[in-house]
Amino acid sequence: MAKQTFQVTTTHPGNGTRVEIQARHHRIIADEPPELGGTDSGANPVEILLGALGACQSVVAVVYAQKFGIRFERLQIELEGDIDLDGFFDKSNVRPGFSDIRYKFIFDSEEAPEKFQEFLNFVEQKCPVGDTLGNPVALRRAEIVVNAPAAV
Amino acid sequence: MAKQTFQVTTTHPGNGTRVEIQARHHRIIADEPPELGGTDSGANPVEILLGALGACQSVVAVVYAQKFGIRFERLQIELEGDIDLDGFFDKSNVRPGFSDIRYKFIFDSEEAPEKFQEFLNFVEQKCPVGDTLGNPVALRRAEIVVNAPAAV
C-alpha cells in the first residue's frame, strides 16, 4: 500500500491577492502582477502550476535516466499555457483554466537526440503532476468553517 | 480577445531532485524530501500543485466576495490529495497523479455561515487552477533540444 497523502495550507489576509502557501516547513508566496490587480510579490497561481509541472517532469527525468541509458548535465524546460481571462473575470462562460499546456525540453547532453523520444514518452507517463493535469481530478470541498474574528 | 499566455522555465542541474522554477522575476525552489530521494530544499512538485490551487481559490474568493455581499478578514485553506506512489516508482500501472483532492475553507468572518455555500460554488467554478485540475488538459511536448555540453 503505497498511497500517500500530501497536504498544504494556504493563508490569505482578506484583502489583496498575496497568498502564503505552507508545505511542511516550506513557504511559497503567490501574488498577482499589477495588471491582474496584485502587488507582484510572487509568481501567480497559474505560473506556479506550470512550474510544478516542469519541476515534476525534471525529477522523473533524473530518476529514470539511467533506465534508458541516458546521461545529461542540465535540463531546462520551457512551459507555457493559454488562459482566456474572460472566464476568471466572469465576462463569458468560457472555462477559466488552461485548455492546453505546451513544453519544450532542452537537455545539455552528449547523447544522440534520438534517444530522448522513448525516454520522454516514459517520463510523461510517470509524472505525477502531468498525470494530474492530463486527467480530470475529483475536487471536493470537504468543509466550510466560519469563525467570528476575535473582538478588538 | 482575452487570451493570455503564461510562461515559466524550470532548470535542473542533471542530478538530485532540486529544481529551480523561474516565473518572470520570481523564483521558487522545488525539491523532494529525503524519503523521496531529495535534499528537502523546497516543497515538492505535488505540494506546489496543491498550493497553487489554494492560492488561486483565495484570489478568486477575494475578487468575488463583494459580489456576494461577503466580508472576511482571513481565509485559510487546508488542501490534501492522495497519490499511489507505486505509479511514480513504476511498481504498477496505477496512475501516478492525484485521483482526488480535498480542501477545507476556514474563514474569519462575521457573516452567517449559510452565506458561503453559494459563494464558494461560484468561486470553484471561476478558479483557473481548479478548472485546470478538474478537466483534462491537453499536454503537448512542443520540442526536444539536445545541446552538447561545452567542452571543459
Q: Which residues contact A114 (CB under 8 A, 6 or more apart)?
A: none
A44-134 carries CATH number 3.30.300.20: yes
3-state secondary structure of B55: helix
Q: Which of A7, A88, A119 to mutate to test the interface with B (most CBs of B within 10 A)?
A: A88
Are A6 and B81 in contact (CB < 8 Å)?
yes
- Complex ipTM over 0.90: yes
CB contacts of B81 in chain A (<8 Å) are 5-6, 137
Q: How confident is the model at residue A150 (pLDDT cuts 50, 70, 90)?
A: confident
- Give the residue among B26, B86, B139, B98 at the shortest CA–CA distance from A21: B26
- The 10s digit of each residue's pLDDT in B91-128 is 999 999 998 999 999 999 999 999 999 999 999 999 99
B75 strand-pairing partners: A12, B107
Digit-coded pLDDT (tens) for B4-49: 999 999 999 999 999 999 999 999 999 999 999 999 999 999 999 9
CA distance A116 to B32: 24
**What average pLDDT does chain A have?**
95
